[in-house]
Amino acid sequence: MDIGIPFSSLMLTIAFVGFHYSGAALILYIGFPPFYRSVGSMWFYYSGPHFDVYKKKVVSSSVGYLMLAGGILAFALLSGFHFLLILCLPICLYVGLRIRRHLLQETEGPHLWLVTPLTVKWPMFPFDVWTIGAGLLTLLALGSPWGE
């Protein structure tokens, strides 16, 4: 079945969207932008005892998973095995959803300036808008990666 898009370009686009989704989740988890209360400092390595050891473990393991996905991406692009790019998306989604779960458990909800009927019913609404928006902005920034 031909959809008019080269397979390697489609897989690369999916991998980039996954990386930006998980990267936006990680940035939000460490405190920027400040959507949630008591998340921690953006400069977590320099905050000393103010940043919890548990949060450092979450961030470290998340970065480890992203490095694994980056290694798969580099290997797939350098070796020509573009079908391996499909492995990046589940890893990146796992990182993003894992951070979402930790953020929901660790915070007291959105800041008061974000309290709306949507955030009262769905406290992770700002997180979802931020992370999914970052992934979709990747598509806009790439334009049409398959050359049309």
Residues 6+ away with beta carbon under 8 Å from 135: 17, 18, 20, 21, 24
Letter string b/e over residues 67-104, b meaning 16 or more CB atoms within 10 A of that residue's CB: eebbebbeebeeeeebebbebbbebbeebbebbbebbe
- Model confidence pLDDT, tens digit, residues 91-107: 999 999 999 999 888 88
Range from 24-28, 54-58, 80-84 carrying the lowest mean pLDDT: 54-58
Query: In terms of pLDDT, which residue wins out, 46 or 7?
Result: 7
Amino acid at 9: S
- Model confidence pLDDT, tens digit, residues 75-95: 998 998 988 988 999 999 999
Q: CA 143, CA 148: separation in Å to the nearest integer? A: 9
- Mean pLDDT of all residues in the chain? 82
Res. 32: pLDDT tops 60: yes
Which pLDDT belongs to residue 22?
Answer: 93
